[in-house]
Amino acid sequence: MSDRMLISTRKGLFTASRSGSGWAVSNVDFLGDNVTLALHDPRSGYSYAALDHGHFGVKLHRNKGDGWQEIAAPAYPEKPADVISTDGWGKDLPWATALIWALETGGADEPGVIWCGTLPGGLFKSEDHGETWQLNRPLWDEPKRKRWMGGGRELPGIHSICVDPRSSRTIRVGVSCGGVWQTDDGGESWACRATGMRAEFMPPEQAGDPEIQDPHLLVQSPSNPDRLWVQHHNGIFVSSDGSKNWTEIYAQPSSFGFAVAVHPNEPDTAWFVPGIKDELRIPVDGKLVVTRTRDGGKSFESLSNGLPQSHAYDIALRHALTIDKTGNSLAFGTTTGNVYVTEDQGDHWSTVSNSLPPIYAVRFA
């Protein structure tokens, strides 16, 4: 059972720890700074923190156990003068890292590898624990990549990276807005894999276009990697054939949200933190709940024991729900600075904090 979690917030990176009396905040780093994402790599023991200083740009820090040090952030190459760079809307798309939106470890067979997804849409790989980064050119140079467009954010970006446990050369990324993209050759070639998804925000004849879909988060079942789950802008989608096809499923009280977590050993079991809908991003009836399916999305339970059920307006952003390796412990943080944890798969929740800054990401570490 996990006994530590990293909580990335608008005003610092908080660590919460589990002791005999329960969970509590035990440490804070980068206090006052905007920490957008953190990663702990169990292979090396290193931790990574992405910061967005606003005026001063995006930075990356690493802790090898002896304190945080700034390391190189993923950086785009010089844009050739004759290249016109625009997004799917025709708006200028700078070749510059605007946000680190995904950080994931490579496969078990590639110990130094870290993958990083960014706004405005570049995927970066480090083979040396973040010392140096290389832009994945095949995906960046893919003509269809230029159709990607910003969703809630001004620029398109990669927020999800799933390295297939069967082969580290098979990688899927989730793009807002640009669908799901897959490589089976370590990133040398890519194909869009979002058939079956539905985008209400487009004209009806384009709603099924795979390349303009807005998955909010993509996760892959470790025990059955052909099973993938997506919390999408317009609902929940599940794939049972390795992302070739996607089927929409419906949850109560709502299918809208940002985050999804899948059980490590039960591919049919997944959790979501719903809001009302895209233009009304608050819990239904002011009641904060987590929804859980145990049958691949045929039915859902609404879990509320220990969560506020009156005037709660929390939203869990896409990286703010996490599950540990046992599948029993989950935790999530919210835009209003609340953190909740369960150790029985969501049947009962307890409060870690009610007073943190707005939370972007929560991860067991």
Partner 1 sequence: MTKVIFTANLMRHVDCPAVDVDGHTVREVLAKIFAENPRLKSYVVDEQFALRRHMGIIVDGEIVSDRNGLSDPVESNSEVFVLQALSGG
**Sheet bearing 321-323, strands edge to edge:** 321-323, 330-333, 339-342, 350-353
User: Which residues are registered as beta bridge partners of 275?
Assistant: 256
Check residue 67 for interaction with partner 1 (CB under 8 A).
no
Check residue 79 for interaction with partner 1 (CB under 8 A).
yes
- As measured in angstroms, the least distance from the Cβ of 54 to partner 1 is 6
Residue (61 or 319) nearer to partner 1, CB:
61
Check residue 276 for interaction with partner 1 (CB under 8 A).
no
- As measured in angstroms, the least distance from the Cβ of 264 to partner 1 is 37
Residue (60 or 261) nearer to partner 1, CB:
60
- As measured in angstroms, the least distance from the Cβ of 363 to partner 1 is 24
What distance in Å separates the CA atoms of residue 338 and residue 344, rounded to the nearest whole number? 19
Candidates 92-100, 105-113, 138-146, 184-192 — which segment interacts with partner 1 by CB under 8 A? Answer: 92-100
Check residue 54 for interaction with partner 1 (CB under 8 A).
yes
Pure H helices in the chain: 137-140
Candidates 49-57, 175-183, 212-220, 283-291 — which segment interacts with partner 1 by CB under 8 A? Answer: 49-57
Residue (101 or 349) nearer to partner 1, CB:
101
Q: Residue 55's CB: how many other CB atoms inside 10 A?
A: 4
What distance in Å separates the CA atoms of residue 343 and residue 327, rounded to the nearest whole number? 9
User: Which residues are registered as beta bridge partners of 163?
Assistant: 171
Please answer whether residues 326 and 264 qualify as being in contact, where contact means their C-beta atoms are separated by less than 8 angstroms. Answer: yes
Question: How far is the CA of 30 from the CAs of 61, 147, 360, 361, in angstroms?
Answer: 10, 36, 15, 15
Please answer whether residues 87 and 145 qualify as being in contact, where contact means their C-beta atoms are separated by less than 8 angstroms. Answer: no
Check residue 53 for interaction with partner 1 (CB under 8 A).
yes
What distance in Å separates the CA atoms of residue 133 and residue 60, rounded to the nearest whole number? 11
Residue in 19, 21, 55, 67 binding partner 1, rule: CB under 8 A: 55
Check residue 284 for interaction with partner 1 (CB under 8 A).
no
Pairing of strands 215-220, 47-52: unpaired
The DSSP secondary structure of 123-167, one letter per residue, reads EEEESSTTSS-EE-HHHHT-GGGGG---SSSSS-EEEEEEE-TT-
Residues within window 95-114 making contact with partner 1, judged by CB under 8 A: 95-97
Residue (79 or 244) nearer to partner 1, CB:
79
Residue in 15, 17, 25, 75 binding partner 1, rule: CB under 8 A: 75
Residue (79 or 137) nearer to partner 1, CB:
79
Q: Residue 32's CB: how many other CB atoms inside 10 A?
A: 9
Buried b (16+ CB within 10 A) or exposed e, 174-209: bbbbbbbbbbbeebeebebbbbbbbbeebeeeeeeb
Candidates 89-97, 236-244, 306-314, 347-355 — which segment interacts with partner 1 by CB under 8 A? Answer: 89-97
Residue (97 or 269) nearer to partner 1, CB:
97
Residue in 56, 82, 84, 310 binding partner 1, rule: CB under 8 A: 56
Candidates 3-11, 90-98, 195-203, 214-222 — which segment interacts with partner 1 by CB under 8 A? Answer: 90-98
Residue (95 or 313) nearer to partner 1, CB:
95
Check residue 68 for interaction with partner 1 (CB under 8 A).
no
Which tokens is 328 given? 């029993």
Q: Residue 295's CB: how many other CB atoms inside 10 A?
A: 9
Residue (55 or 279) nearer to partner 1, CB:
55
Residue in 25, 28, 76, 168 binding partner 1, rule: CB under 8 A: 76
Residue (42 or 55) nearer to partner 1, CB:
55
Spatial CA neighbour of 182 closest among 233, 150, 218: 218
- As measured in angstroms, the least distance from the Cβ of 310 to partner 1 is 32
Residue (82 or 109) nearer to partner 1, CB:
82
The residue ranges that bind partner 1 (CB under 8 A) are 53-57, 59, 70, 73, 75-79, 94-97
